[in-house]
Structure formats: C-alpha cells, structure tokens
Amino acid sequence: MRKKIIAGNWKMYKDLTESAELLGGLKARAGEIPSGVTLVVCPPYTSLALAGATMKETPIKVGGQNMSEHDEGAFTGEISAKMLKSTGCEFVILGHSERRQYNGETNEGVNRKARKALAAGLRPIICVGETLAEREGGVTESVVGTQVRGCLDGLGDRMENVVVAYEPVWAIGTGKTATPAQAQEVHAFIRKTVEEMFGPSVAGNLVIQYGGSVKPDNSADLLGQKDIDGALVGGACLKADSFMQIAKSALR
Ligand code: 13P
C-alpha cells in the first residue's frame, strides 16, 4: 500500500518568530500522526534551518518550496539543493503553479530541477494542474499530460523518490475544491500517463497528492479516493490544529 504524504506549503507566510510557534505546536502533537502517514512542513527559506533543527528527533519531515537548477555559482537570490539538504530538508516542492505563473517556470526547467534534487538526495514534489480556462475548454488531460511527461522525462530509475501533486489552479486559495470524483479522475489519468512512461510498477508505487483548498472538513473524502495518496495543503497548514486534523483524516 502507498504511504500517504501530507505536505504543508507555507508559501510566503510566517517570519522566524511565527515559524517557531507553528513548528513547536506541530512538534508537540507529532505523536498524533497516524503510522501510515508522512507529514512534511515546507516553510519559507528563512525558517528552514529552524524547522530542520526543531523536527530532528520527530517523525515530521521538512521540505523547501523551490530550488535552483544549478549546483552553485553567481545566481543572486537562489538556493541550491545542497543548501536545502544542509538545513535538514528531505523534500522540495517544484513547479508550483504560483512559480509557473509569477516566475516563468516551465516543464523543462522543473525537469532539470527534479534531476538536481534527486541527485542531492531530495524527494521532489512535482506540481501539475490546469487553469479554469483550460478545464472549461476541455483540455485538462492534454495540459496535465504534457506537464507530467515534461516534468518526469527521464526520471524512470529514480521515480520511487518522486511525488506528484495535482493542484488544479482554479482550486488554489479560492475555497473551490475539486470534488473527490473530479480529483480522482485526474489522479487516475496521471497514474495512467506514468504507467505509459515507466510501466505499471512505477505507476502503482507513485504517491500522487491532491492540492487546492484542502481543509479538515473535505480532506477525508478526498483522501479516501483510490488514487489520492496525500495532500499538498496551503492555507489550512498554517495552524497546527487544522494541519493535524488533515493528517489524522488521511487514514480512516
Ligand atoms: P490552498 O490550500 O490555500 O488552496 O493552497 C493549495 C496550494 O497551493 C498548496 O501548494
């Protein structure tokens, strides 16, 4: 059975003081995490070292929200995979729709970053998802299929360390969640695409998270779907209580 991975994407929220409070709150409740669930926090860069130190002796994992495709060099403002690792990160979110929208990230760039992440021993959480116009235009599968093929190209032998997150752009931060059936349909399509690329064993073991307005009151239904193996949570991960409730709803 695939383990459920619940990751919290803090986005650009929480300074160091606020981060210490949330991390402390989560650490205090780490014992509540069901054994088949992996919980990951992805704070902003400025709080990563604190998160790594705080979660060191706990089952809670830490991830970055982005990283450079380069190893090192004159890239002002960038952070490398090795730097993330040194803070205690085990995961890194790549190709989030906000980065695609505001920072021009492409499938090819995400693929280059994923290769670097895997080489450094980080598990990439690769985000895909269609916009509202694309869904209404009936091109969800072609858009998501192109993203999956582009981002995962050539990763076949390292796919056991890859996580895919399906985040319909129209459901992010809008309170409009995809229905469990809508999400399941795209998750099954992603798994089928990965099967075409890398075969049934890789596809069967792949953890595919859903993201987009996941809250304690809808998480159990979403996570109960056959091909939904976790969640990438935005707003509801900013409070220890709601994030823990989502984690606990993953295995009912
Ligand atoms: P919300 O849960 O706030 O909709 O954000 C989802 C998201 O983008 C997680 O990466």
Per-residue pLDDT tens over the stretch 81-114 = 999 999 999 999 999 999 999 999 999 999 999 9
Q: Give the atom of ligand 1 at the shortest distance from the alpha carbon of 98.
A: 8
Tell me the average pLDDT of the chain.
Answer: 97
Residue 35: Cβ within 10 Å count: 7
Give me ligand 1 centre to Cα 85, in Å: 24
Distance 74 CA to ligand 1 centre (A): 32
Residues recognised as catalytic: 96, 167
**pLDDT at residue 26 is higher than 90:** yes
Q: Locate tokens 């982005």: which residue?
A: 66
The pTM is what? 0.98
Name the phi and psi angles at 113, rounded to 5: -65, -40
CATH number at residue 217: 3.20.20.70
Query: Which amino acid residue places its CA nearest to atom 5 of ligand 1?
Result: 234
Ligand 1 lining (C-beta closer than 6 Å): 9, 96, 167, 172-173, 211-214, 232-236
Select from 6, 94, 167, 174 the residue to mutate for testing ligand 1; criterion: most ligand atoms less than 8 Å from CB: 167
Taking residue 59's Cβ as centre, other Cβ atoms within 10 Å add up to 12
Closest C-alpha to ligand 1, atom 9 = 234
Give per-residue pLDDT as tens, 184-208: 999 999 999 999 999 999 999 999 9
- pLDDT at residue 252, as a whole number: 65
Three-state DSSP state, 216: coil
Whole domain around residue 79: which residue ranges? 4-249
Residue 23 and residue 237 in contact, taking contact as beta carbons nearer than 8 Å: no
Distance of CA 25 to the CA centre of its chain: 21
Q: Number of structural domains, the chain? A: 1
